[in-house]
């Protein structure tokens, strides 16, 4: 006879004292009296992995977040113990593990200062509803600690005092502080005493982060299931933390094609063909540079993916070719929902092969999206990804579409609570079957991955270009992204600035926003200010909902059109500079945009700055975020900065007023920078580059700049067919020397550099190139001259 039917709710459970320890090469195991096991893996000298099992049995070690190319190895590993702790020492870190309760404390190996320590440490609660555990971790927030990262959260850069949730969510017209939204990137940076570390909580269940909101000096993270599995990444520089994080979760598999960094025009929706042509013809007529035109869901037959509406687009292949002849790449949208329709080949094939997601008891997961009732492919199954990739043959190889944009892949479902799949939907998860609770946050990532492989296959030998709305850590390997369905308001302009900076510091640099706002209608001033910001975002696209009026560069009258054109032209001039930043990002994981705190964490003033950022390595930008503004106050990082417009010099380290009427914005160049520039083109490849301009900004001291070039598309650069030029600038009171070091086998189309010297503090006596004197001319007070691209030493003598 059963007497007690009450469930015993145990509340939080904690590890007890360590009773067993063993070492296996780079991995250490600690087992406690109550059967908790901690596995510590030394990934690198500055990267430790902590993994806990509450019943001594670990799940299959599988992660979509970690790349197979992650670096491994360390220079030093020593294990000691004292009365209270096991002590793990690498060349960068010392980690104490308490014998009493598995709590950890991590110190800098050089100066023995504390970097991060557990408060309660690991604890867990049994999940009675679903089984398994709710896994929790709490750490002490040290004196003056700040927090950054977590992807696209629409809040200020510094996360201290806030709490967040990671659950990819379709968030139409979200507001400041909305949470969760489209992405789940469970990675954050901590900064205190000018030292930075990162924590990547690799758990795909719904997860939460509290940065001293509940308790003033405690930061914590937890998840509704799965393992407590996190990586501790030490800097001490923030840029090193981000670089090590992208080493772990992956960098883009290649540089984007150069055209993908040009200006893109999009709308929901441009149709029929005559409308598409009207828009593209207007770009060329008004001489506003543009590289890509987008087709939203209305190009399809009844919103069925991989089909064309033959009434609107009778001959897509011809249209796409004609657009290409005019310099426009066509980018098409593809969503995950497949219409339930027995006459539809994609649906029939997936049904026959059993590729759709199912509910727990067997029926297919059915949900309403644009086509009506749909089934959804299980992208966590390798053969489904392969099938999906092959579906792109016609679109890419036959018709000639150059890019694909994955939307609604949170996955979004209409007219249901929660706006997504129910929890009981099943997924293969690459042979680790699970429910949607675990697979939800990676669904969009795996769709984007399958799309990427399809484009790579059928675009070859050109590089694929994919965009995704939803993402988990590591999605940067395959695609670019944007910040979702924003709104045409001044506050959303400010949010776009912050969100893209945050995406960059969260390892995902190829990001932008819907310029002008997706929902509602901007006025000309807001649109123009947004384009000015967009020029300095890695992904540069105008997109809007057709319900709210036109949002092309000419939609707001001739004055605004001229200003927008001027700024888009600046983007095209800066393409070699941006391309070089992308190369550095794909090689080393260095963010393309740097929030001021990432640029200079040693300056206390940068910890709470939201608006200013560094574009690439050398350009300081601060958007105008208020209506009717004739300028703004902005903070200048320590150092000297040249005003882009008039070459005046500003000494950094404080906040200053900058004039910037509607036809201007605050742009400053770091002293000593050498900025490469292309001529203005209407689209990438319109002109053969016959000369590279180098804008040289004087500095007393040393500065290194670089320019990376290749064929602008294709994979030959990976075989050494690139050109990397390093310029070492040395300025003295009466001389300026530039040394050039070149590597790579690519031969550029130009033979000469046009050198523009800005603000020399001395009168020139002579200029020598490789010890031979040359003639110079003055232009608007600037010194301009042409020299061979092969020069080794340029010497300006005062």
Structure tokens at 4: 């007690």
- Collapsing DSSP to helix, strand or coil, 566 comes out as helix
DSSP 100: T
485 is catalytic: yes
Instruction: Report the run of H or E that residue 571 belongs to, with start and end.
Output: helix 558-573
Between helices 575-588 and 558-573, what is the axis angle to 10°? Answer: 50
Residue among 43, 407, 514, 611 flagged as catalytic? 407
Q: What is the DSSP letter of 574?
A: T
Main-chain phi, psi angles of 47, to 5 degrees = -130, 120
What's the CA gap between 306 and 487, in Å, rounded? 29
φ and ψ at 413, to 5 degrees?
-130, 135
Beta strands 47-53 and 228-234 are antiparallel
Q: CA–CA separation, 46 vs 68, rounded Å? A: 19
What is the rounded distance in angstroms from the CA atom of residue 115 to the CA atom of residue 347?
53
Number of residues that make up the chain? 798
The residues, ordered by sequence, that sit 6+ positions from 733 with a Cβ below 8 Å of its Cβ are 700, 761, 762, 798
Compute the CA torsion angle 387, 392, 393, 398 (nearest 10 deg).
170
Q: In the 8-state DSSP scheme, what is residue 395?
A: I
Instruction: For residue 456, give both structure tokens.
Output: 């790579």
Q: Which two tokens mark 587?
A: 């090689």
Q: What is the DSSP string of 44-63?
A: ETTEEEEEEETTS-PPP---
Task: State both tokens at 221.
Answer: 């993270």
Q: Which residues are within 8 A (CB) of 791 and not within 5 positions of it... i.e. 6 or more apart?
A: 740, 753, 769, 770
Catalytic residue among 210, 240, 485, 514: 485
- Determine contact, residues 115/104, Cβ cutoff 8 Å: no
- The torsion defined by the Cα of 760, 761, 767 and 768, in degrees rounded to 10, comes to -100
* 362 CB-near residues (< 8 Å, 6+ apart): none
Residues 6+ apart with CB under 8 A from 325: none
Q: Which structure tokens are listed for 194?
A: 């000018």
The question of whether 407 is a catalytic residue gets the answer: yes
Task: Label residues 539-561 b or e (16+ Cβ within 10 Å = b).
Answer: bbbbbbbeebeebbbbbbeeebb
Choice among 45, 210, 410, 671 that is catalytic: 410
CB neighbours (10 Å) of residue 567? 21
In whole angstroms, what is the distance from residue 344 CA to residue 391 CA?
Answer: 13
Whether 101 is a known active-site residue: answer: no
Please name the residue that has the structure tokens 């999206």.
369
Task: Please state whether beta strands 228-234 and 264-265 pair in parallel, antiparallel, or not at all (unpaired).
Answer: unpaired
Sign of the dihedral defined by the CA atoms of residues 27, 29, 30, 36, in that order: positive
Active centre residues (catalytic): 407, 410, 485
């Amino acid at each position: 006879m059963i007497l007690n039917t009450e469930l015993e709710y145990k509340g939080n459970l904690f590890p007890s004292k360590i009773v067993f320890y063993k070492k296996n090469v780079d991995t250490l195991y600690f087992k406690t009296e109550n059967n908790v096991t901690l596995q510590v893996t030394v990934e690198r000298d500055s990267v430790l992995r902590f993994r806990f099992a509450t019943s001594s049995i670990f799940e299959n070690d599988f992660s979509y977040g970690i790349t197979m190319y992650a670096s491994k190895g360390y220079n030093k590993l020593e294990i000691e113990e004292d009365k209270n702790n096991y002590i793990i020492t690498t060349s960068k870190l010392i980690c104490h593990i308490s014998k009493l309760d598995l709590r950890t404390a991590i110190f800098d190996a050089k100066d023995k200062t504390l970097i991060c320590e557990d408060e309660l440490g690991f604890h867990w609660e049994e999940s009675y509803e679903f089984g398994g555990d709710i896994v929790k971790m709490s750490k002490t927030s040290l004196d003056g600690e700040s927090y950054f990262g977590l992807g696209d959260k629409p809040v200020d850069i510094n996360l201290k005092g806030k709490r967040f949730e990671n659950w990819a969510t379709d968030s139409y017209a979200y507001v400041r502080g909305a949470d969760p939204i489209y992405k789940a990137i469970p990675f954050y940076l901590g900064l205190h005493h000018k030292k930075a570390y990162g924590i990547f909580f690799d758990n795909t269940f719904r997860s939460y982060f509290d940065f001293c909101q509940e308790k003033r000096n405690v930061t914590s993270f937890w998840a509704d299931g799965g393992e407590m599995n996190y990586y501790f990444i030490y800097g001490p520089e923030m840029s090193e933390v981000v670089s090590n994080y992208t080493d772990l979760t992956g960098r883009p598999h290649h540089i984007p094609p150069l055209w993908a960094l040009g200006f893109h025009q999009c709308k929901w929706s441009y149709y029929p063909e005559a409308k598409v042509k009207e828009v593209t013809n207007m770009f060329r007529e008004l001489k506003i540079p543009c590289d890509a035109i987008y087709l939203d869901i209305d190009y399809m037959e009844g919103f069925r993916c991989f089909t064309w509406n033959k009434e609107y687009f009778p001959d897509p292949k011809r249209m796409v070719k004609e657009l290409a002849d005019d310099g426009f790449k066509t980018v098409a949208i593809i969503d995950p929902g497949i219409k339930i329709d027995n006459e539809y080949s994609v649906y029939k094939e997936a049904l026959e092969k059993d590729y759709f997601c199912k509910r727990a008891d067997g029926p297919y997961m059915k949900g309403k999206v644009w086509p009506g009732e749909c089934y959804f492919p299980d992208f966590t199954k390798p053969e489904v990804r392969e099938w999906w990739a092959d579906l792109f043959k016609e679109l890419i190889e036959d018709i000639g579409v150059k890019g694909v944009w994955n939307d609604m892949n949170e996955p979004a479902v209409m007219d249901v609570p929660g706006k997504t799949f129910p929890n009981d939907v099943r997924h293969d998860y690459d042979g680790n079957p699970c429910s949607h609770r675990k697979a939800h946050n990676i669904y969009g990532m795996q769709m984007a991955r399958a799309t990427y492989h399809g484009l790579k296959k059928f675009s070859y030998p050109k590089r694929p270009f994919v965009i995704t709305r939803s993402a988990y850590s590591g999605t940067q390997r395959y695609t670019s992204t944007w910040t979702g369905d924003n709104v045409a308001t001044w506050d959303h302009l400010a949010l776009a600035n912050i969100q893209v900076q945050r995406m960059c510091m969260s390892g995902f640099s190829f990001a932008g926003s819907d310029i002008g706002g997706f929902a509602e209608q901007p006025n000309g001033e807001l649109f123009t200010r947004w384009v000015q910001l967009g020029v300095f975002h890695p992904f540069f696209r105008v997109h809007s909902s057709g319900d709210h009026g036109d949002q092309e560069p000419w939609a707001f009258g001739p004055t605004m059109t001229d200003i927008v054109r001027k700024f888009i032209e600046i983007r095209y001039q800066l393409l070699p500079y941006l391309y070089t930043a992308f190369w550095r990002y794909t090689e080393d994981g260095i963010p393309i945009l740097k929030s001021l705190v990432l640029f200079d964490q040693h300056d206390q003033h940068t910890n709470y700055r939201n608006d200013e950022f560094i574009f690439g390595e050398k350009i300081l930008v601060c958007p105008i975020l208020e209506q009717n503004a004739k300028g703004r106050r902005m903070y200048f990082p320590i150092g000297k900065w040249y005003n882009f417009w008039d070459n005046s010099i500003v000494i950094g380290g404080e906040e200053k007023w900058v004039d910037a009427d509607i036809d201007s914005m605050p742009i400053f160049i770091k002293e000593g920078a050498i900025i490469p520039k292309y001529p203005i083109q209407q689209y990438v490849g319109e002109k053969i580059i016959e000369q590279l301009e180098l804008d040289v900004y004087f500095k007393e001291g040393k500065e290194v700049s670089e320019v990376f070039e290749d064929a602008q598309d294709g994979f030959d650069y990976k075989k050494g067919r690139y050109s990397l030029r390093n310029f070492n600038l040395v300025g003295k009171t009466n001389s300026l020397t530039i040394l050039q070091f070149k590597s790579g086998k690519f031969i550029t189309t130009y033979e000469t550099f046009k050198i523009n010297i800005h603000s020399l503090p001395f009168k020139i006596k002579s200029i020598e190139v490789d010890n031979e004197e040359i003639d110079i001319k003055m232009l608007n007070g600037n010194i301009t001259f042409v020299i061979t691209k092969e020069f080794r030493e340029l010497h300006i003598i005062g």
